[in-house]
């Protein structure tokens, strides 16, 4: 029987960022990394490293659905690790804040991971997988990541019986 290779899906793997570093580390440790980038981002750095990658916009449901179809073909329906790393920062003083920019940031930083978990939870459950949500600090950006942190705590409780 051929043993299936463990897989890690990492969102937001632009050049020089945390996502790129994570997929390279997963590869070093024998875990099949699968990277995502915005459709308009260059993937040259991932191609040079031999990292499989797919386009993804976490604010677009159809983009996530297509990614899931692509991953099911590659992983046979199993996903051991989902790293919600994709994020954008918007830093401005409170009185000068552009609310529409903050709404977009929340769409990426909070609702994006929610969409990913909604669509990939079945693959994670099949593999007894793990969800990692990357947070940070910094004004409105911090507020979006704090919301993600609290949502993650609830998700942990909900998913625990499914291990």
Provide the annotated active-site residues: 141, 145
Please answer whether residues 7 and 34 qualify as being in contact, where contact means their C-beta atoms are separated by less than 8 angstroms: yes
Sheet bearing 52-55, strands edge to edge: 52-55, 32-37, 7-10, 81-84, 130-133
Cα 125 to Cα 142: distance, rounded to the nearest angstrom:
29
Which helix (H) or strand (E) segment is 37 a member of? strand 32-37
Residue of 3, 7, 31, 23 whose CA lies nearest to 129: 7
């Amino acid at each position: 029987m051929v043993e299936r290779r463990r897989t890690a899906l990492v969102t937001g793997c632009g050049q020089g960022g945390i996502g790129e570093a994570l997929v390279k580390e997963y590869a070093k440790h024998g875990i099949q990394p699968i990277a995502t980038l915005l459709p308009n981002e260059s993937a040259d750095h991932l191609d040079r490293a031999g990292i499989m990658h797919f386009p993804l916009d976490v604010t677009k449901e159809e983009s996530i659905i297509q990614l899931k179809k692509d991953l099911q073909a590659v992983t046979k329906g199993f996903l051991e690790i989902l790293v919600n790393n994709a994020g954008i920062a918007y830093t401005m003083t409170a009185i000068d804040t552009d609310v529409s920019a903050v709404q977009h940031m929340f769409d990426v930083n909070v609702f994006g991971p929610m969409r990913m978990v909604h669509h990939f939870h079945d693959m994670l459950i099949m593999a007894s997988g793990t969800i990692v949500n990357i947070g940070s600090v910094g004004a409105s950006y911090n507020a979006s990541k704090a919301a993600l942190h609290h949502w993650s705590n609830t998700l942990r409780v909900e998913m625990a019986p499914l291990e």
